[in-house]
Amino acid sequence: MVVLVRLALVSLLPIALLACESRCETDFDCGDQSYCDESGHFCRTDCYVDADCAMALGCELTDDGCASLGRLCLDGRCQGTDVEIGDKPVGLDDDGFDAAPGTGLIFVVDALEIAAPDVGFDLDNRCDPDCIDNVLSPLGNHANPSLRAGVRSSANLLVVEIAGLVDKYAGRDDAVTLKIYSGIDADALVSNNFDGQGTVLIDRDSLTADNRPRTMARARIRNHQLVTDESFDLAIQLSVAATIRPTVEFARMRFSFLIAPNERSFSNGVLGGALPARALHGIENPYCGQVSVLCSASFSNSSLLDLVALTISGMPDVDLDGDGAECAVDQDGDQAIDLCCDAVAPGDPCFDTACAVTVPRVDPDDASSCADHREFADGYSVGMRVSGVVTEVVGVGN
């Protein structure tokens, strides 16, 4: 399969790179992943990742025998014919883990939405079916308008910090720390888009008692692409409807995004993880007050878990506690969960009316409270598209 993909790229890329050239005077005239070839004043792309420099894109059609162009891909140009340039670690002396909050490179998220099914991460290393876990993708059709509105109004103000960035940043740092906070618009900005010209406060609830970020993850940057090296938990307030803005708790999160060379924005961000079924059960379902494409019946006093379990899957797809799958069941057909199963064997179905291992109720008078029990711990995978613009932190607020 890898060979076929490579051949397909070889057959197409030379045409794209050579026949459709854009005129330029400097690198700034070209887009991301390209540079200005000064000899002909056209935009050119020699590589997308470091591996392309060992065997350049389309080199089978050249006369140089696929000679190495370098060891490091920076903005579409191969650099570093000397092994020391391409392989020497960068930025290991300070990863920013212990730096004070708000002292690194700060961005505020200006776009956030649940993504298509092919966007996300492999959260459980099962690669089933295609290495992407995003079972909650269908929920985006209904949640995304509210998520977008929340970002535009600064109701969903998410602050992303890169701590420990090297002083002479040139697209690579092998040791940084990603820190994420809920933010407050310090300028009370009331426009249709937070453009990064204002300033923000870090929400006090995003910090521990000793003023450390609650959400941190070690990360690295190669060719301007930041990738977290470890998973993390994240609790953020999100507008799931006009009047509903709960704190949503995610687990096993990962984050990747492309930092603009001028460090003024980031794009192509993917934020993925698992939304525990317990967390979904604590969020009111705002989408089924009446029958719709999403809701085959009117759900009264229902939670988002009721909606997800009955329209997407009763079985969460990420086993967070390692004891086998769990299952949420509506026994009486009233559109509400009233039975929770635990430790369902791999490959077994989520039965309609019974289960071998029953999760106890937290409230004896509330059948759905089984979803609040600590044994009902698994989560539904989600992948989100994210972008952001640079801003400044001016303090901590409530």
Contact 379/328 with Cβ under 8 angstroms? no
Residue 23 vs residues 42, 233, 306, 321: alpha-carbon distances, Å? 4, 46, 55, 55
Contact 280/316 with Cβ under 8 angstroms? no
What is the spatial distance between Cα 77 and Cα 75, in angstroms, rounded to a whole number?
A: 6
What is the spatial distance between Cα 78 and Cα 345, in angstroms, rounded to a whole number?
A: 50
State residue 39's pLDDT score: 64
Residues 6 or more apart whose Cβ sits within 8 Å of residue 211: 100, 101, 396
Burial (CB count within 10 angstroms: exposed 0-12, middle 13-18, buried 19+), residue 166 = middle
State residue 13's pLDDT score: 37
Residues of the chain with pLDDT under 50: 1-20, 56, 58-65, 81-86, 189-196
State residue 325's pLDDT score: 82
State residue 5's pLDDT score: 34
Lookup: tokens for 252:
């096993």
Percent of the chain exceeding pLDDT 90 equals 42
Q: Which position has the token pair 């985006």?
A: 140
Does residue 272 sit in helix, strand or coil?
A: strand
Lookup: tokens for 363:
């409230």
Contact 173/163 with Cβ under 8 angstroms? no
Listed in order, strand segments (DSSP E) in the chain are 35-37, 42-44, 72-74, 77-79, 105-114, 158-163, 173-185, 199-203, 215-222, 225-228, 232-237, 247-259, 265-276, 325-329, 339-344, 379-390, 392-397
Q: How far apart are the first and last CA of the chain?
A: 53
